[in-house]
Structure 1
Amino acid sequence: MGHNVEQGMETWTVVGSSLKRVDAAEKVVGRARYGVDVSLPGMAVGKVLRSPHAHAKILSIDTRAAEALEGVYAVITAADLPDVDLDDAEKMFRDHVLASDKVLHVGHPIAAVAARSATIAEQALALIKVRYEVLRPVVDVLEAMKPGAPILHPHLRTRSLGASDDAPTNVASHFVHEKGDPEQGFAEADVIVEREFRTTMVHQGYLEPHASTAVWSDDGHVAVYATTQGVFAVRDHLARLLRLPMSRIRVIPMEVGGAFGGKNTSYVDGLAALLARKARRPVKVVMSRQETFLATGPSSGTVIKIKMGATRDGRITAAEATLVYEAGAYPGGPVGSGAHIMFAPYDIPHGRIVGYDVVVNKPKV
């Protein structure tokens, strides 16, 4: 940052001053373009069919009536994804975009439609027939860890720093980090305090819903106009989903109307691209407010147990924490980040942090 020196004193020209936002003028005069503002010739409207159940097997999906409706350009399901051999991780990645054999939370995408208008697209969604076998859901993170809890992913095994059990589980990962000798540290303490804290799943609540418009060129390249904080994350997501080299994918970021970290993940870009390819025309998909709350990533609900020991003069001798984080329907909760910052501000000679990443029947965080 630049600064001036006046009469032997530093006067900062940036720190402490009022700066103009680089995007302020565009927004004030209405020139800023958001995801919903994209309009391309011949563009279709995309809508998504979502699960009404938190946990269910998909027995069948019949899209014939929807495909026959006048004004419908394309209908897609998981069967329209590239036909490749999948390992467990790749199957979970694709199922998060379009459920194939199970739905794992209310709002889980099952099918999508591209049509001439929003009204026709919604009529087509109503014509898609899905047969379910409804299963018992589990939405509490501690209940999900208990023996006999409903299993979300039969193939999931706990990934651990130590030996791993081969039994089906909802605990996606487990770790223990230690420093010094926690037992010795607690023995040296004059006072030991133990507490348990619970936080609930909280959505970021940004004003602008997710929106994406995709258009394919004749040479097999795709351009996606996305409401995103992470252009390269969207590009990588599309390359993996569509099985395309990154050189054939162009992501154009639009202005973002609020995000708070919630728009680093791709939710409708892949659906827009798949619909546009099948419909052979540009397709725009815009989430409703309800869809945004039901099917995009919130912060994790957690259960955190803390034990701390200290001497009477205020010196911390030991600390222990157990962090149980909701991952949502698929593994990958931020329990590692929680562990990194749990005791970071303190000088603690002896400590232990135990972490669990647990899947539950809620949107993936």
Structure 2
Amino acid sequence: GPKYGPIGLELLLETARRHPHWTAPLGPNQGRGFAVGFWFNAGMNSSATVTLNADGSAAVVTGNPDIGGTRVAQALMVAEELAIPVERVRSSVGDTDSSGFTDVTGGSRVCYATGMAVIRAAEDARDQLKARAAKMWNVAPDAVTWQDGRAIPPPGTEKAEPLTVAEIAAKMTHTGGPIVGRASLYAPMAGPAFGAHICDLEVDPETGQSRVVRYTAFQDVGKAVHPSFVEGQMQGGVAQGVGWALNEEYIYNSDGVMENAGFLDYRMPVASDLPMIETVMIEVANPLHPYGVRGVGEVPIVPPLAAVANAMRDATGVRFTELPLSPPRVLAAIESAAPVPVGA
């Protein structure tokens, strides 16, 4: 199979093994399951623009709708590159007719690939700021350096003090006009990543009904640009995976007509169905990205199905090979199947 460079699988497993959840006691009719999942993630095409305003604030525009906190992450990236407060960066989403071509919003690619375009666009804007400072000092652009959000004049420059972004932006009209950083790129792949999940499940042996009583998700996230949004992505993936494992399925009648075509009958988990999902982020930098970012959103959807099935086997002694583990299916299996010894 493929070989990956720096990746957090081993650290992930060690962290899970040392976590209190690994050895926490279980109650009656409860079982514990563990599973590891992998997703390769995507790169593809992305574009971004970063525009400086006369007051030193910035605006970043990309073509990917925000489905997981990417607008804030992109504002943080611009703020990092220009060394300005993130509150001074306005992040917007435009259509790809006006903001530069950008591929699909999916594949766990937006913070990775479009974020990379944002970083390069901010770097382009920063290079233009240095060139404007050089013009103001009448020195060569290559002689100007950038440090802590300020253009630094070369040694020996007369009557020249470091200039901030706001000070340079205030004179844009007189030094060449608007400053707009642009970048377009093709990212050949994103940072693949692993997740490891521990699930505790409680089963009612008389009805087959089950509920998740504790869940911990561990994941190599590369670099969490905005940790609370990363945590939300991990929790959302768990919720979706648990839904697939326990309830979600299409039901057809004898004529091939779907009988649960609406949300009233298609059973997805809601907040009251799940415990607070604990997340543990492992940061092993992705060498393909300037900040070490890896795709996050799809990895946590992979392990729950196996983790839940393993917990069900631990709780009931029955090995299930078909999902979802709905109450009728679980009850029928408990009543008819011979228990499988632990470890089988």
> How would you bin the TM-score normalised by the shorter chain?
0.3 to 0.5
* TM-score (normalizing by structure 1): 0.39
- The structure with the largest alpha-carbon Rg is 2
* TM-score (normalizing by structure 2): 0.41
Q: Larger relative CO (CA 8 A, sep 6+): 1 or 2?
A: 2
Q: Which has the higher helix share?
A: 2
